[in-house]
């Protein structure tokens, strides 16, 4: 029923975004005082800053600064995130599968969970100093909990019938873990990894605002310090775009790794 | 006998992504349902029986033909046609009593009157002890009874039931079949009975309950035959063992077997 | 089995603390400035609880988070339910929401400071921004799902639009709304700590950064624990509301 209306709704969907752009352009034409420009930079100023940051080679880095900062952020994100997967997935499987791990480890994990990754920033700074280790640690910590929680849920949620069917066909423990429980839990684990990546992005921005001398979080923090709102906006756009791209990547990974799950 | 619901050449198709995906759910479907009659529709999966029911309920638009109730074209849903859904669709946030009262609330009846009528129907389906419980606290059979009470509480002239017993176990099913007949008013004269359109997969269920059985085939959903049920009313349990009962069941199965096999294979 | 769990777990925690207190100092020799010992943290905790400044910080942070959360709930619930019931509203706002959502609230901190200065207004703005998206998306999903699952039943009961909205859409969407509120409040609490670290002169986030710059690592850890406890408190309050308001939620309904 909705099909013939779709062409009409596309125009309707563009109304608000276009109106906001028009409002932005209009306001920046009207408000031209220096203080107003500080609050609401005109589009051409943002474009100029974007060109400056993304295209002009920085004499120190030998690359455009935006790319350098983005590369640093992505490197830290990748390190912390991969470390979180490497620790959280085996730990989650152990907790979900073995009673002993559930009794003696799970409650410790759950006790740590309420302390948000940003609350660790000061301690991480004290331990690791200003630099990459602090940021990687915060990303690791932020991404860890969604992944471990979903891995536990996925392992526990594996239907007992599947396990029984496997036992009945003469499967050993290890094979059951590898052929039954892991694939059955995989969709849930991947969902946890996707959530973890989102939390990782929040954490990396928060950590870079105070704990580094590079990265996109540092870029917007530093630009704010110099009252350079155009660069702040460019940095925010970069964070948003990379966030979308990484989430899309995870979604693609989900369809590749779990081809047997019907898509919604 | 007066015609209550009438379908004349009704057609309905669902468009797919491509023209070749289009499904003809109903084609040239013509049927008269009389006032006070219990009509069952049986047929294989995908024969369009639920589509027809939804169209009578006013929940789905038809593409061809005309559909009348009391001679008036059906255009939208209304309180004169009550629907009992396959998954019950009891409102989880309402207690049994509130669920049963809901259609009375829609009619704008005062609270005291609502309560009284609801109590009567809750008693009729033997749920008095559970009237302040939420649906999740009920067993499958109790949920079904609650759905039946909700269906009749608003006093609709036509009861539309879409495989109402498909999700209860086999024994509860037999018990509830009797209750449906009781609620319908089998013991009353025809003039005081409601009109029922009852969609089901189960042939013996149709034979036990209905006055007439409309047999459908699938792809496209078409009416194959209307079988008049000779079994006497009130229907008693022992009828299930009668040769007439089994013969009728078998005859209907013969009518739809080929289509049913095809439905599995596609 | 089950009754033996907690005594054993307590024992485990005591052993871990004992190892930390008496064994770790022999291995890690950088001193308690970096690895606060349990006894130091306990001392830090007591002195923290005795200071008026700490309690002021708690009140400030919780006040900001609740203010931002209230704003986010008010806008998010109304907009979310409108999105869920009206495809036109959904089409009108969905592109904008999808464009703004991927940006973590933390990335707004610098611009919020430029716009609103250092202090309450930017904190409340940031919390509201962080809490808004989970609330609006869950409210929309709740209203949409309710319409899908119960819309037909409501329609064939003869109910008019207002009754359907009041007795079906709203109660059906309520548990989703509360779920969104819980997620939103959690995000808001994370955001406020972060925002106060950078853009405030008060609140727990400011206090913990200050403790760090004075090298009072015991206070840092004590503040972290307090942040965790307040997070639990906020969440369990909403969880209780959720259980009271929708006892049927999460059970096999229908």
Q: Per-residue pLDDT tens for A84-133? A: 999 999 999 999 988 888 888 888 999 899 999 999 999 999 888 888 99
With an 8 Å Cβ cutoff, are C156 and B83 in contact?
A: yes
Average pLDDT over residues C73-100: 94
Q: What is the CATH number of domain B3-80+156-265?
A: 3.40.50.300
Closest chain B residue to C250, measured at CA: B136
- Substitution target from B58, B90, B92, B164 for chain C, most C beta carbons within 10 A: B92
Between C104 and A163, the higher pLDDT residue: C104
- Domain membership of residue C123 (yes or no) is yes
Structure confidence at residue A3 (pLDDT): 44
pLDDT score, position C253: 43
Q: Is residue C112 part of a domain?
A: yes
Judge if pTM exceeds 0.90. Answer: no
Q: Which pLDDT belongs to residue C1?
A: 47
Range scoring the smallest mean pLDDT among A84-88, C7-11, C179-183, C237-241: C7-11
Answer yes or no: is pLDDT of C254 > 50.
no
Mean pLDDT of B61-75: 93
Residue B159 has pLDDT above 50, yes or no: yes
High-pLDDT (> 90) share of chain A, %: 55
**pLDDT at residue number A208:** 95
C246: left (phi over 0), alpha (psi -120 to 50) or beta: beta
With contact defined as beta carbons under 8 Å apart, do B148 and B183 qualify?
Answer: yes
Which pLDDT band holds residue C108 (cuts at 50, 70, 90)?
very high
User: Do B42 and B215 touch, CB atoms closer than 8 A?
Assistant: yes
Place of tokens 């999105």: C83
Q: In the CATH hierarchy, which top-level class contains the domain A57-257?
A: mainly alpha
Residue C52 has pLDDT above 50, yes or no: yes
Question: Exposed (0-12), middle (13-18) or buried (19+): which is A66, by Cβ within 10 Å?
Answer: buried
pLDDT band, residue B266 (cuts 50/70/90):
low
Q: How far apart are CA C205 and CA C207, in angstroms?
A: 5
Contacting chains of C (3 CB pairs or more, <8 Å) are: A, B
pLDDT at residue B45 in the model: 78
Cβ density class C200-214: b for 16+ within 10 Å, e for less: bebbbbbbbbbbbee
Please tell me which of the candidates A116, A224, A247 has its beta carbon nearest to residue C190. A116
CB < 8 Å to A20, chain C:
96
For residue C108, being part of any structural domain is answered with yes
Alpha-carbon distance of C131 to C105, in angstroms, equals 9
Taking an 8 Å cut-off on Cβ atoms, the answer to whether C197 and A118 are in contact is yes
pLDDT at B10: 93
Q: Is residue C16 part of a domain?
A: no
3-class SS letters over chain A? CCHHHHHHHHHHHHHHHHHHHHHHHHHHHHCCCHHHHHHCCCHHHHHHHHHHHHHCCCCCCCCCHHHHHHHHHHHHHHHHHHHHHHHHHHHHHHHHHCHHHHHHHHHHHHHHCCCCHHHHHHHHHHHHCCCHHHHHHHHHHHHHHHHHHHHHHHHHHCCHHHHHHHHHCCCCHHHHHHHHHHHHHHHHHHHHHHHHHHHHHHHHHHHHHHHCCCCHHHHHHHHHHCCCHHHHHHHHHHHHHHHHHHHHHHHHHHHHHCCCCCCC
Residue range(s) defining the domain that contains residue C126:
51-253
CA–CA distances in Å: residue A213 to residues A124, A129, B2, B102, B219: 15, 11, 87, 64, 68
pLDDT above 50 (res B107) = yes
ipTM: 0.89
Q: What pLDDT shows up at residue C252?
A: 46
Domain-located, residue C12:
no
- Closest partner CB to C252 (pick from B57, B107, B136): B136
CB contact (8 A) between residue A240 and residue C103: yes
- Across the interface, whether the CB atoms of B89 and C252 are under 8 A apart is answered no
Instruction: Give partners of B (≥3 CB pairs < 8 A).
Output: C
Q: Is C163 on the interface with B (CB under 8 A)?
A: yes
Nearest CA in chain C to A210: C198
Q: Total structural domains in chain C? A: 1
Distance CA C109, CA C131 (A): 14
CB contact under 8 A, C209 and A239: no
Q: Where in chain B is the domain with CATH 3.40.50.300?
A: 3-80+156-265
pLDDT category of residue A2 using cuts at 50, 70 and 90? very low
Q: Please report, for the domain that includes residue C210, its CATH number.
A: 1.10.3720.10
Q: Is C167 on the interface with B (CB under 8 A)?
A: yes
Split at pLDDT 50, 70, 90, the class of C31 is low
Question: What distances in angstroms separate CA C27 from CA A44, A129, B158, C32, C216, one per listed residue?
Answer: 58, 20, 83, 12, 21
Question: Where does the pLDDT of residue C112 fall: very low under 50, low under 70, confident under 90, or very high at 90 and above?
Answer: very high
Query: Per the CB < 8 Å rule, is B59 touching C252?
Result: no
Average pLDDT of the segment spanning C56-70: 97
Assign A57 a pLDDT band (cuts: 50, 70, 90). Answer: confident
**Inter-chain contact B106–C150, Cβ cutoff 8 Å?**
no
pLDDT greater than 90 at residue A79: yes
Inter-chain residue contact B59 with C246, CB threshold 8 Å: no
In this predicted structure, the answer to whether residue A264 has a pLDDT above a threshold of 60 is: no
Q: Which of B79, B89, B103 minimises the CB distance to C254?
A: B89
Single out the residue of A209, A216, A154 nearest to residue A187, CA to CA.
Answer: A154
pLDDT digits (tens, 9 = 90+) for C195-238: 999 878 899 999 999 998 888 888 999 999 999 999 999 999 99
Whole-angstrom Cα distance, residue A216 to residue A202?
Answer: 12
Q: Which two tokens stand for residue A112?
A: 């740590």
The answer on pLDDT for B43 being more than 50 is: yes
Q: How many CB pairs under 8 A join A and C?
A: 144
Give me B217's structure tokens.
Answer: 């085939």
Query: What does the pLDDT average to over B134-143?
Result: 91
Q: Which residue of C has its CA nearest to B140?
A: C254
Please judge whether A217 and C106 are an interchain contact, meaning their C-beta atoms are less than 8 angstroms apart: yes
pLDDT value of position B129? 95
């Amino acid at each position: 029923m909705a099909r013939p209306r779709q062409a009409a709704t596309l125009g309707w969907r563009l109304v608000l975004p276009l109106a906001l752009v028009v409002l932005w352009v209009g306001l920046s034409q009207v408000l031209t005082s220096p203080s107003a420009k500080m609050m609401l930079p005109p589009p051409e100023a943002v474009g100029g800053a974007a060109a400056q940051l993304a295209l002009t080679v920085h004499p120190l880095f030998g690359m455009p600064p935006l790319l350098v900062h983005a590369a640093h952020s992505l490197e830290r994100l990748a390190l912390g995130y991969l470390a979180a997967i490497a620790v959280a997935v085996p730990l989650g499987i152990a907790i979900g599968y073995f009673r002993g791990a559930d009794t003696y480890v799970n409650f410790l994990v759950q006790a740590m969970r309420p302390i948000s990754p940003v609350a660790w920033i000061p301690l991480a700074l004290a331990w690791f100093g200003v630099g990459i280790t602090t940021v990687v640690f915060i990303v690791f910590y932020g991404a860890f909990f969604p992944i471990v929680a979903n891995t536990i849920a996925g392992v526990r949620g594996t239907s007992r019938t599947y396990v029984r069917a496997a036992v009945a066909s003469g499967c050993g423990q290890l094979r059951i873990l590898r052929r039954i429980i892991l694939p059955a839990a995989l969709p849930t684990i991947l969902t946890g990894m996707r959530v973890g990546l989102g939390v990782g992005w929040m954490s990396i921005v928060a950590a870079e605002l105070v704990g580094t001398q590079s990265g996109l979080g540092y870029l917007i923090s530093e630009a704010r310090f110099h009252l350079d709102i155009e660069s702040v906006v460019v940095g925010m756009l970069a964070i948003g775009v990379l966030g979308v791209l990484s989430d899309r990547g995870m979604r693609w990974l989900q369809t590749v790794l779990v081809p047997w799950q019907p898509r919604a | 006998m007066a015609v209550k619901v009438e379908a004349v050449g009704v057609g309905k198709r669902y468009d797919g992504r491509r023209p070749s995906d289009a499904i003809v759910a109903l084609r040239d479907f013509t049927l008269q349902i009389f006032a006070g009659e219990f009509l069952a529709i049986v047929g294989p999966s995908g024969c369009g029986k639920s589509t027809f029911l939804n169209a009578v309920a006013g929940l789905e638009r038809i593409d061809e033909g005309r559909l009348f109730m009391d001679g008036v074209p059906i255009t939208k849903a209304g309180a004169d046609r009550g629907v009992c859904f396959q998954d019950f669709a009891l409102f989880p946030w309402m207690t049994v009593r509130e669920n049963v009262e809901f259609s009375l609330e829609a009619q704008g009846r005062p609270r005291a009157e609502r309560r009284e009528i609801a109590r009567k129907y809750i008693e009729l389906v033997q749920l008095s002890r559970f009237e302040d419980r939420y649906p999740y606290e009920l067993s499958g059979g109790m949920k079904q009874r609650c759905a039946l009470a909700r269906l009749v509480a608003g006093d609709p002239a036509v009861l539309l039931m879409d495989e109402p017993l498909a999700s209860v176990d086999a024994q509860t099913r037999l018990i509830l079949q009797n209750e449906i007949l009781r609620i319908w008013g089998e013991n009353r004269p025809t003039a005081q009975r409601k009109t029922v359109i009852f969609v089901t997969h189960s042939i013996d269920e149709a034979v036990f309950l209905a006055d007439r059985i409309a047999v459908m085939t699938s792809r496209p959903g078409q009416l194959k035959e209307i079988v008049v049920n000779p079994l006497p009313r009130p229907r008693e349990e022992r009828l299930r063992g009668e040769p007439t009962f089994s013969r009728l069941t078998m005859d209907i199965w013969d009518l739809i077997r080929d289509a049913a096999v095809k439905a599995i294979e596609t | 089995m089950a009754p033996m769990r907690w005594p054993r777990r307590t024992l485990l925690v005591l052993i871990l603390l004992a190892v930390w207190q008496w064994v770790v100092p022999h291995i890690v020799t950088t001193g308690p400035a970096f690895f606060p010992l349990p006894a130091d943290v306990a001392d830090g905790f007591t002195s923290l609880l005795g200071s008026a400044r700490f309690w002021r910080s708690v009140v400030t942070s919780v006040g900001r988070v609740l203010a931002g959360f209230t704003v986010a709930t008010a806008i998010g619930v109304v907009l979310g339910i409108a999105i869920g019931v009206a495809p036109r509203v959904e089409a009108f706002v969905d592109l904008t929401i999808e464009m703004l959502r991927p940006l973590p609230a933390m990335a707004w901190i610098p611009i919020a400071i430029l716009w609103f200065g250092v202090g309450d207004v930017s904190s409340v703005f940031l919390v509201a921004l962080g809490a808004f998206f989970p609330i609006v998306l869950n409210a929309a999903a709740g209203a949409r799902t309710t319409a899908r699952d119960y819309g037909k039943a409501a329609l064939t009961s003869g109910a008019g639009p207002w009754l359907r909205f009041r007795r079906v859409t709203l109660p059906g969407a309520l548990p989703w709304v509360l779920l969104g509120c819980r997620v939103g409040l959690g995000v808001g609490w994370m955001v406020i700590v972060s925002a106060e670290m950078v853009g405030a002169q008060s609140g727990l986030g400011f206090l913990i950064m200050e403790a760090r710059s004075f090298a009072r690592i015991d206070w840092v850890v004590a503040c972290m624990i307090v942040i965790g406890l307040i997070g639990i408190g906020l969440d369990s309050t909403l969880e209780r509301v959720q259980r009271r308001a929708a006892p049927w939620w999460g059970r096999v309904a229908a």
